[in-house]
Amino acid sequence: IGNNKIRKNKFTKLKKLNYKIATLIHLKSHCGYGSKVDEGTVMMQGSLINTNSQIGKNCIINSHASIDHDCLIKDHTHICPGVTIGGNVKIGKNCWIGLGSKIIENCIIGDNVYVAAGTVVIRNLKSNTFVKGVPAKYAKKRLA
């Protein structure tokens, strides 16, 4: 389920019913030494998670996304295909990191942040915001 809100609602309902939700890691993806991928998360083909990174519950790490060392991706976040995330990046809950976006090392991204496709994030981002462009700039309206 690609929509974060719908996926989170389904996950929460299943957990309330005491279901154990599988974590799915494609055989042609890679999760580095010391990294942790939590319950309900899906790693698609060609995705890469480097050393000592943590991926929360119910996330999507889509095809050919690259997450470098010591990153933290919190629950219900969608990392779209081709995203590149530098080392030591922290991404909050319920975020959407759009197709082909790039986030430089050491950035902190709050909860509920929408990063448009192709955006280059070079500084920390506040919660509940939408950014787009190169470099990323805050926008007034979020795309659909």
User: Distance (Å, rounded) from C-alpha 40 to C-alpha 133?
Assistant: 31
78 is catalytic: no
Instruction: Supply φ then ψ for residue 13, to 5 degrees.
Output: -65, -45
DSSP label at 4? H
Give the CB-side neighbour count of residue 30, counting CA atoms within 13 A: 11
Task: Respond yes or no on whether the N-terminal peptide bond of residue 81 is cis (omega within 30° of 0).
Answer: no
DSSP label at 125? B
Which one of the listed residues 26, 64, 69, 78 is annotated catalytic? 69
Give the CB-side neighbour count of residue 42, counting CA atoms within 13 A: 15
**Positions marked active-site:** 69
